[in-house]
Amino acid sequence: MNTFHIRYAKPTEDGAGVKIRRISEFTGRIDPFLMVDELKSSIKDDYIGGFPPHPHRGFETLTYLLHGGLSHRDSEGHQGGVSRGGAQWMRAGSGIVHSEMPTTDSDGLHGFQVWINLPASLKMSTPTYRDVQASEIPQVTFTGGEARLIADRWQFNEISGEGAMTTLGDGAGMADVSLDANATVEVKLPEGYRLIAYVYNGAVSASRQDAVIQGKAENGGLMVFDRDDQTVRLHSETASGVLLLSGKPLDEPIAHRGPFVMNTAAELQQAMLDYQSGAMGRLDR
C-alpha cells in the first residue's frame, strides 16, 4: 500500500502494568514493521514491574533507550543489559521466552520497542540476542541537527554513515534524529525502501523531493511515507526528536496472535502448541 498517512500512538499497558504509547499494525500498512511502542514515565510505579517472562516467534524486537535501562534474560541462556543511549536486539525466530526488567536513571525511563517482521524464510531461524551499548552507536552531524545510527545505512543531506548493526530483519534500519528549531534535512533511502518517522518530541512537517507537502506530526505521531518517496524532507517547527525507521516491505501474508507473528493460521496454532509444550524453552521469573 503506497499511501502517505499519519497516525497517533494510543496509551495502553503491557507486561506487569508498564504504561506505554503504542502504534500496532498487522495489516501490512507499515511493512516490514509491526509495532512501535514508546515507554516514557518519570513515575516508578508506571514501569518498575517490567516485562516478566513471555514468548515470541517469527519476528525481531529492537529496544532503544533515551533514558533509564533494561536488563535481559532469555531461554537460550542470553543475559545482558543496557542503559541510556543503548539498544537491545533480539531475533525471536523459531521461538524464545525472555524477560525485560527496567532500571532507572535520574530522568526515569524513556525508550522505544519496535517489532520488525521476518520473511517466511527466516521465521524459524535460530533465536539470538545482542546488546548494543551507547558507545557502539555512531553519530553523524549535519546542518540543523544530528543522528545516532542504530542500524543500517543512512544518508542525511550529503552526510552518510553505517549503523552499529548492519541491518534489522531482512533489510531495515533505525536512527534517532535530533533537529534544531526551524531546521530542514533531506533523508535519502535505497530504492524500494519505505521511511517511517515517529515524532517523540516537538513538531515535524514532511515534503516530497518535488516539494509537495505531505503532512505534519506532533509528539506521538507516526508518519508513514510512500514506497516511491526515495527522498523525504523533514522540517522541524521546534527543536524536535524523531525516531526514523526504514525498511524494504516483505509483501507477505501476516498472521498475528499475541506474541506470535507468522504467515498462516496453522503456523500460529503450531506456535501456541510449541510454547505450551515447552519447545520454546522456559525461563523462571
User: Which tens digits make up the pLDDT trace of 229-247?
Assistant: 899 999 999 999 999 999 9
Residue 105 has pLDDT above 70, yes or no: no
Q: What is the average pLDDT value for the chain, to the nearest integer?
A: 94
pLDDT value at residue 1: 45
8-33 pLDDT per residue, tens = 999 999 998 899 999 999 999 999 99
Q: Nearest 10 degrees: CA dihedral of 35, 132, 167, 158? A: 100
* CATH top-level class of 5-247: mainly beta
Pairs from 256-265 (Cβ < 8 Å, separation ≥ 24): 256/26, 256/34, 259/54, 259/55, 259/56, 259/57, 260/55, 260/56, 260/57, 260/58, 261/26, 261/34, 261/57, 261/58, 261/59, 261/115, 261/117, 261/118, 262/57, 262/58, 262/123, 263/120, 263/123
Can you spell out the DSSP letters for 53-84?
A: EEEEBSEEEEEEEEESEEEEEETTS-EEEEET
pTM: 0.96
Contact 155, 188 (CB under 8 A): yes
Read off the amino acid at residue 175. A
pLDDT tens sequence across 189-200: 999 999 999 999
Query: What is the per-residue pLDDT for 204?
Result: 97
Secondary element (H or E) of residue 42: none
